[in-house]
Amino acid sequence: MLKDIVITEHPVCACVPRDFPLTLRCRAQGSSSLYYQWFLHSETFCKEIPGANQPDLHIVAQQTQLYICRVNDQHHHIAFSHWVKVKVLKDINKDFVPHGWEGDPIFIMNPNPVHLTSQQPVQLQCCAIGIPAPKYQWYQNGQCLPHRRGRKMQIKAVKPKDCGSYLCCATNSKGERWSEPVELTRGHCPSRQDIYFAAGKVALIIGNNCYLNHPNLLAPVVDVCELSILLKKLGFFVISLVDLTHSEMLTAVNKFLQFLDKGVYGLFYYAGHGYERSGRNYMVPVDAPQPYRPENCISVQNILQKMQERRTALNVVLLDTCRKWYNADCGLSKVNPLKPFGNTVYGYATCENAEAYEVQDGNSSSGIFMTYLKKHILEEKKVTHMLEDVLEDIGRDPLITGKQVMEIKHTLTESRALTDRICSLQSERLNRKTLDKENELPKQILLFPCGVEVELSFQSVFSNIIHVFARLIQTPSYMTDIKTILYRSSDLAELSIPNNCRLGHEDSLLAMGSKEEAADCKLRLPGLQKCQNDIFIKLDLHCTNMGTGVRLQESLEHKIPKPWVARLFSQKDACLLDRNNAAGSSDSGTAVRLQSNTDSHKRLGHAGGKSLGAPSQSSIEPEENDEGDIFAA
């Protein structure tokens, strides 16, 4: 039994606008009935608040005050809560607070840029409201300044090393917010106005290769694989997905939007069948019917509008798809204007009313756009300047002269680059290393009753495809002619690939590295976003006992936990709105290949439906309908 009173919940400090209604809470435990009394600090003494004898103290913040709660029982035991300060910002009205605010930090004052002509003192300051009152941490050029933890930061004499970009992070138990970055410069200190930082980097890249009712493509799966690797080098958390249905594309976009926040760099890339109509671009999911209707396609502009609403610092949309529209008589679709935020970059693989081509060279295939994008994407320069280099390289390619010219549109007012560094104290949900670790599967050792040991390892290049590798690591001396077969327990048709069988080029990408060389067999697990439960795979072992000549067969089952992407796509977590979408074209963009005059081994394919020079024809006039708000904000 408790003899003393124990405070189990102390009130918390707060920083709020004037006239904001606030509740201070105190909770305690004791051996008998407890009595509460609240006090406030008035000048040099504590003043009892009349009638404030409940665990909760409801106040309307008028001025900055200190509060404390006393708890006592009938046995004269007494305990006091912590002192808490309710700071009231008199110049800020309570109407400044958004409806439904739960106490997460909101900056009401950002630091101002400073330019000095000599070694002078300077003070940078900011202020944020929050419940609990936010704590502050300053950063210079993306690096944490450990001893700068107040809302004001003073430098007694600014030296050249102090010049640079500064920003502050305000945090409490409800969340974190970043101030606007500002520049501190001196007369002889080089300007750092072209140095920017990201609060995080998130990319959604989709490649649709295998269509149910339309010609398959070759390049998208390869291009998505290569772009995924490059973006990870730039610090992006990458969600890379191939062969998505209409509902899966909507879910993927919704989840992508939820990762975006103020100061984050967002990048969206799509490769597959598509078209453009009246300045609006559409993507064709793999389950689109033939001919497809308006509701079967997805508007890229809708995605960009939702990206802007997340207050991102940079939005990049890269479309490696055709922009051809084959029915000039069809009515125009409504285009909603984007907000003038000055942070948007469009990179089109081809110009308006033209096809986008892919190059086939032997067994490999790659889009023209990606062929040159991967040469420049790691360059440390403004993203629009980097894309201009890609445009110039495409223009010099003799294979597509007069057929494909890249186009760039942007409203980017700042010199932001994909190579910009990430602030070191970013939100945990945007920590790429943490998120990547969630998607890793550790190696497993399986021991058969006959004494054979097999190592299972896993490799994922796409978020929704995993390769499983089986490798013999120990075999009894009396066993010979050992073979292993991997397959999915619930789907015997998805058999493993013997090591001497040739993989397709996209499978080779997935299996690249030392694992493929050392593996005795492999199993490809595609479409992981569809999984509802854990995955069970089986490993069959066939071997011969040299002593008896008997052929043995043994089987073991292994459980793979429900993949991260499946949890992301689960209906329980999905935030899909109505399915109304943009009008779609009836022409899917059939892939055709043309023999190049310059290289007999390289061939061009495009998503135009006809060979170059042939007149275009329309097979159906799509219906027109208004666009709905299909993505979660």
Q: Which active-site residues does the annotation give?
A: 273, 322
How far does the chain reach from its first CA to its final CA, in angstroms? 51
Query: Cα separation of 355 and 368, whole Å?
Result: 11
- Those residues whose C-beta lies under 8 Å from the C-beta of residue 421, and which sit 6 or more positions away, are 141, 142, 197, 198, 235
Q: How far apart are CA 535 and CA 561, in angstroms?
A: 6
Q: What is the C-alpha separation between 484 and 553, in angstroms, rounded?
A: 10
The DSSP letter of residue 317 is: E
Q: Which residues contact 438 (CB under 8 A, 6 or more apart)?
A: 564
Phi-psi region of 71 (alpha: psi -120 to 50; beta: other; left: phi over 0): beta
Distance CA 308, CA 107 (A): 19
Classify 507 in phi/psi space as left (phi over 0), alpha (psi -120 to 50) or beta.
alpha
Report d(CA 339, CA 342) in Å as an integer.
8
CA distances from 357 to 6, 319, 348, 374, 389 (A): 72, 12, 12, 16, 18
Q: How many Cβ atoms sit within 10 Å of the Cβ of residue 487?
A: 19
* Among 138, 135, 140, CA closest to 161: 140
CB distance 550 to 247 below 8 Å = no
In sign, the C-alpha dihedral spanning 321, 324, 327, 329 is positive
Residues 6+ away with beta carbon under 8 Å from 469: 456, 457, 458, 459, 511, 515, 516, 518, 519, 521, 522
